Amino acid sequence: MSKKKPPPSCSRREFIKVGGLAVIGFSAFGIHGDGQNKEPLSTIIKKAQGLVIGDPTSCIGCLRCELACTEFNDGKASPSLSRIKISRNMNFGPKGVFGGRPVQGNWGNGLIIQDLCLQCPHPVPCANACPNDAIIVQPPLYARVVNPEKCEGCRMCLHSCPWDMMSFDQEVEKASKCFLCNGQPKCVEACPSGALRYISWIDLTDRVPLRTVPTAAVSPDLCLACHKDKKDTKR
């Protein structure tokens, strides 16, 4: 009668090593195994119908646009919450030129820059970074809008926008962004010099210099599914 062979010995270190590899393997399979999770996190495909643009050569720096934005949307005068951000392109400091908005020329050119939401086309960085799907499109303008009921104040959207155009209200712990005031932008109405205009949407994402390096981003692999047909067509 043959004796059964005893099971191979396994040290605690080997057990942890093998167990750890198994966990990593299952996690990787969950993300890439069947391809079902490669869908983009954001399904915002529809392009916005409008856009606010600024003319720095006409801006007088009165900041009425920022006040109009927050008074209409937040019920308080708080430029730090404004969806339009005004800054003078003139940078001096003890160490020479210092950071912030990109400058033109060695010491800036003195222009007052109006930074505005670009209503990005797909893939929308802020919407893709939101873990709660709180950034949606709102008809009829299809502006990218923060749904306050879904926003949990994680600030991932703030760290994802390459143009640093998200705002955050510390009092209510909610993010916000430009939603074009339902087609009647208050910043445009309040501008006394005509430096702001509301126009039909155009893609400015490749023309406006990036303001910051996003620290919250979605891997391009997650967007393969919706662009697969385009790639196949190019081939």
CA–CA gap between residue 177 and residue 124 (Å, rounded): 13
**C-alpha distances out from residue 218 to 34, 90, 113, 129, 157, Å:** 19, 34, 29, 6, 11
Query: What's residue 23's pLDDT?
Result: 35
Could you read off the pLDDT of 120-144 as tens digits, one per residue?
A: 999 999 999 999 999 999 899 999 9
Say yes or no to pLDDT of 37 above 90: no
CA–CA gap between residue 200 and residue 61 (Å, rounded): 25
Query: What's residue 223's pLDDT?
Result: 57
Q: Give the β-pairing of 85-90 and 50-54.
A: unpaired
Q: Are 222 and 124 in contact (CB under 8 A)?
A: no
Mean pLDDT of the chain: 78
Say yes or no to pLDDT of 218 above 50: yes
Question: What average pLDDT does the segment 168-188 reach?
Answer: 95
The 8 Å CB, 24+ separation contacts for 189-195 are 189/68, 190/64, 190/65, 190/67, 190/68, 191/64, 191/65, 192/60, 192/62, 192/64, 193/58, 193/59, 193/60, 193/62, 194/55, 194/58, 195/54, 195/55, 195/56, 195/58, 195/59, 195/60, 195/114
Say yes or no to pLDDT of 211 above 70: yes
Q: Which of 19-33, 94-108, 113-127 has the lowest mean pLDDT?
A: 19-33
CA–CA gap between residue 31 and residue 80 (Å, rounded): 39
> Mean pLDDT highest for which of 35-39, 110-114, 222-226?
110-114
Could you read off the pLDDT of 49-61 as tens digits, one per residue?
A: 999 999 988 999 9
Query: What's residue 170's pLDDT?
Result: 93
Domains of the chain: 50-230 (3.30.70.20)
Q: Model's pTM, two decimal places?
A: 0.72
Say yes or no to pLDDT of 232 above 90: no
Query: What's residue 1's pLDDT?
Result: 53
Say yes or no to pLDDT of 156 above 70: yes
**Is 97 exposed, middle or buried (CB count within 10 Å of its CB: 0-12, 13-18, 19+)?**
middle
Token pair of 212 as six digits:
């910051």
Residue 119 vs residue 88, higher pLDDT: 119
Say yes or no to pLDDT of 12 above 70: no
Query: What's residue 209's pLDDT?
Result: 85
Question: What average pLDDT does the segment 191-219 reach?
Answer: 89
Measure CA 57 to chain center.
27
What is the separation, in whole angstroms, between the first and last Cα of the chain?
Answer: 67
